[in-house]
A and B are shown apart, each in its own frame.
Chain A
Amino acid sequence: MSTATATPGAAPPRGSMKQNRRWALIWSYVFLSIFAAFFLLPPIYMFITSLKTSAEVSAATTPWWVHNPTLDNYKALLTSREFMIFFRNSVVVSTCVVIITMLISILAAFSLARMKFWGSATLATGVFLTYLVPDTLLFIPLFKIFAWLHEVTDIQFINRWWMLIILYPTLTVPFCTWIMIGYFASIPKELDEAAIMDGASYMQVLTRIFIPVALPGIIAATIFAFTVSWAQFLYPLAFTTSTDQLLLPVGIVTTLIKGDVFNWGQIMTGALLGALPPLVIYAFLMDYYIAGLTAGATKG
């Protein structure tokens, strides 16, 4: 660790080198603090504002301090029927998407990493490429496709929150499959070959060996699927409009901002509450979160 000092100079005398290192360390902390302040400023400011009354928000006092802290904004939002509907919609959609995603990607990853079939190598690469196709390219054709499905099947898709359960897996499945392929491929082949020889079926190999051994990868992929579906903004904005059909992020952005009257105390409270589930998961499962994040690059 300590050899990677930030001080120049080829081979100074022993004593000054020690001092150089000390200074390098001090400067590292100084700059880290500056960056941390920049990175944490918006969430902190969200929190400060969320504790203010509308009167204090528009008062001429310092915006960086709360003089009369109040929880009224939190009470107002948590007892608002509208907000609870957004929250419920978001929770149901995210949960269903996580379950669907994990089912599809674990099965597919096992098949692509171990069993292989004609074209499976191409498919593995294809999965990775589809991960790169952004939602911003697909939302217009998807909108038209679901409008057309409505005409054909007489089922209303547009402006129904549950239809997002069909759409979100396109954002989560490719990456989760990719991570799982990496984790499954790292399991020694002898393990499943021995089990097959003992008469285990492929399903047994998957559920008894692969899933327990690759559990860290499964947790990382689950976290990824949850955070992506919780944060997704474009699809709900394009596909849902009625207030009882909105998901949390879109609900906060569209309903709390009404015309020219911005109730910033409530908007910030809503934003903070909307950010809370991913933050809580991150706080408790940081290592898995980061493992999932870096797996895409190191295994890809």
Chain B
Amino acid sequence: MASNAATAPDGATRPRSSLRKAAQRRSTIAFLMALPLILLIAALVVYPAGYAIHLSTLNKSMEEFVGFENFEYLFERETFWMVVWQSSIFAITAVVFKALIGFVVAHLVHNIPLKGQRKWRGMLLVPWVIPPAMSTLAWLWLFDSSYSAFNWIIEGLGGPRVPWLGETGWARFSVILVNVWYGAPFFMIMYLAALKSVPEQLYEAAEIDGAGWWQRMWFITLPMMRNIIAITVLFSTIVTFANFDIVRVLTAGGPIDTTHVFATYAFKLGIESSDIPLGAAVSLFMFPLLALAAIFILRDVNKRGNQG
């Protein structure tokens, strides 16, 4: 507030009261300009999020308050624990591989002459550009039980047919593979931007000092990229944990519910079986991770604020 008064025009020459009035008018206009945003967030994000908590305490017909009964019901079901387990494995494995592949590919692109980089970067980001529901259809067809193009190659090489989506283990592998395929280019782009921002002199100095490749990586590249790596991994973890499109199109949770993640399971219970409270209860399990991410980000924002 104080800074508003300081930046108001001709502060010194005008009387005090009109200055305050100008500042007040200014912040009123500012508030009105931000009002659509505030209303949108309040009505369609904050309110529904809170309402989800209320919904999860109702019975199936949503007429009666049942407390934690929905949660108790979920805790007793083996399927639910499998969903918890599968969501965590899915998110962690996918994020690790996305980060690793993104890191490697970013370095490869960074290695080649500058004039070729644009072309390669353009090609390598394509998986991220295609709507995931559409590209997953292509994967579904590549994994098809009778006409799988992958199996055609494997069989040609003398291997056995792979039940890509028909067996729990393979189906879990497949959903992770598709998710890695979709998300790795995002990491690549982020890391590439980070690599470009590392001053070249640091490497030159290190090379003169006789630092090897590993030393340059460990003492220069990684520390300089730390912030971007942290924020990209955080983003990706949230998005992957809440993933819906890929699992829904590829397996729809099957075989026998073994590839369900929170989002698809909540959809199945809440929309398809029209047990809205139970679906809301399942989707609420994505909340703790979000809260954790929020804490990290708020801490980061505060740190930045302190640095000025």
Contact = CB atoms under 8 A, between A and B. Distances in A.
Contacts of B104: 31, 35
Nearest to A168: B44
Interface string A15-28: 00000000011001
Nearest to A31: B108
A115 B30 contact: yes
B25 to A, nearest CB: 10
A120 to B, nearest CB: 7
Interface stretch (A55-63, A67-75, A77-85, A214-222): A55-63
Most chain B CB within 10 A, of A117, A145, A275, is at A117
B126 A294 contact: no
Interface string A259-300: 000101001100110110011001100100110011011101
Interface size class of A (residues with CB under 8 A): 35 or more
A141 B290 contact: no
Contacts of B284: 137
A293 to B, nearest CB: 6
A213 interface: no
Nearest to B39: A104
Interface in B7-47: 7, 9-10, 26-31, 33-34, 36-38, 40-41, 44-47
A62 B147 CA distance: 10
Nearest to B33: A111
A144 interface: yes
Contacts of A46: 135, 137-138, 141
B137 A43 contact: no
A115 B27 contact: yes
Contacts of A230: 131
A27 to B, nearest CB: 9
A213 to B, nearest CB: 18
Interface string B59-99: 00010000000000000000000000000000000000000
Contact of B149 (A36, A45, A142): A45
A126 B40 CA distance: 13
Contacts, number: 328
B34 A142 contact: no
A134 B126 contact: no
A297 B190 contact: yes
Contact of A177 (B30, B37, B263): B37
A141 B280 contact: yes
B266 interface: yes
Contacts of B3: 116
A267 B1 contact: no
Contacts of A64: 149, 152
Contact of B29 (A39, A123, A202): A202
Given A39-B181, A123-B34, A233-B245, A249 B283 contact: no
Contacts of B120: 32, 36
A227 B26 contact: no
Contacts of A132: 235, 238, 290, 293-294, 297
B157 interface: no
Contact of B137 (A36, A120, A267): A267
Nearest to A107: B33
Contact of A294 (B48, B190, B207, B239): B190
A53 interface: no
Contact of A173 (B9, B37, B193, B270): B37
A33 to B, nearest CB: 9
Contacts of B224: none
B55 A144 contact: yes
5 contacts: A28-B108, A140-B55, A144-B62, A170-B44, A170-B45
